[in-house]
Amino acid sequence: MTLDPVQLAADLIRCPSITPEDAGALDVLQGALEALGFTCTRLPFEEDGTAPVDNLYARLGDAAPNFCFAGHTDVVPVGAQGDWQVDPFAGTQKDGFLWGRGAADMKGAIAAFVSAVSAHLEDGRNINGSISLLITGDEEGPSVNGTRKMLDWLKSHGEVIDDCVVGEPTNPDQLGDMIKIGRRGSVNGVITVNGAQGHVAYPHLAANPVPQLAAMVNHLSQSSLDAGTEHFQPSNLEITSFDVGNATTNVIPAQAIARFNIRYNDNWQADTISSWIRARLDESAGDSGYELALEHTGDCFLTAPNSFVESLSAAVQSVTGNRPELSTSGGTSDARFIKDAARVVEFGLVGKTMHKVDERVRTDDIRQLAEIYRRLLDAYFS
């Protein structure tokens, strides 16, 4: 009998797996997978300065190609629990929706993964290869002890993933709206300008760093990166803070700090975007100099439309009646790590309520998503 994805999603929601806690979510998932014949391997990782995180790799079969479903069981905090209409960890079904933290992002999709496999097997179809699940508990957190380390483990153990679907909630309004075929890269920057503190009435005895940093930030934010590409929107730079830490009105501060983030398209790579930033700052820095710290949190990637993407698009259209848009919009996901190991796309539930109070998804959508994944498996292994 095909596994009910709504019931499994509710069981997962009842595990309050706020990053980095697992709270039994992987046990629930492992039990469902082992009942289908999967071999499950738990992969706990830890690193100095971060909390330990448990993860799960499960595989059915040992031949190639290896089709992988990837996702995360960890969720963000619920915020003010009193603002919720229901207990956020009760897995409540009401008004045609499944309510709870993680319903959309992304326990509903994980349940649909498992249901799709159970339906594929129940149909008596052959698996001309393998099906695997790569499930982390560290996507909503620092992403240090999760997917990246799992991929390293897979490589060291000769495990190869060929194609992957990440179950992030990609649809803006209704199921079938959008498949993500890539993501923009992301880099955070911190600019520090040092001056010399002094009395505002005696500026010649001080060096004010604020005007210089303001000029640099203005020049940076006014500089156009590009006009976009075939599959990507224009790259954008946003100033996220400008801090002096000065609580008085008669003191010239000794230091000023600004922070920014750039989301960049496939015109750029980590080294070229870094060079562009430094060149723009050098143009406006003046004689005092500055310090720059850059943190690259994800590379730009694109899975160009191909037969795999077309199979998913066809499955979505056959179930929902919608031809999905192929998009690279939005933020980052663990697909930014998986793209180095396999062709990867993202498709999941509707994301309107993810990370919000009263997170919820239509129960019919969960069942339809499971059917989409099943049809994709049928096509992939046909």
Question: Which residues belong to the active site?
Answer: 74, 139
CA distance 239 to 85: 36
Cβ 29 vs Cβ 35: under 8 Å: no
**Burial classification of residue 250, based on how many CB atoms lie within 10 Å of its CB (0-12 exposed, 13-18 middle, 19 or more buried):** exposed
Phi-psi category of residue 199: left, alpha or beta, with phi > 0 → left and psi -120 to 50 → alpha: beta
Phi, psi of 150 (to 5 degrees): -65, -45
Alpha-carbon distances of 243 from 191, 209, 325, rounded to whole Å: 10, 11, 40
Contacts of 145 (CB under 8 A, 6+ apart): 20, 45, 46, 47, 50, 51, 52, 53, 55, 138
Closest Cα partner for 212 from 261, 244, 249, 256? 256
Cβ 373 vs Cβ 112: under 8 Å: yes
Pull the structure tokens for residue 350: 């509707």
Pull the structure tokens for residue 302: 């694109």
CA distance 197 to 252: 5
Closest Cα partner for 237 from 265, 256, 271? 265
Alpha-carbon distances of 154 from 100, 132, 158, rounded to whole Å: 32, 12, 6
CA distance 197 to 251: 7
Alpha-carbon distances of 197 from 250, 289, 290, rounded to whole Å: 11, 16, 16
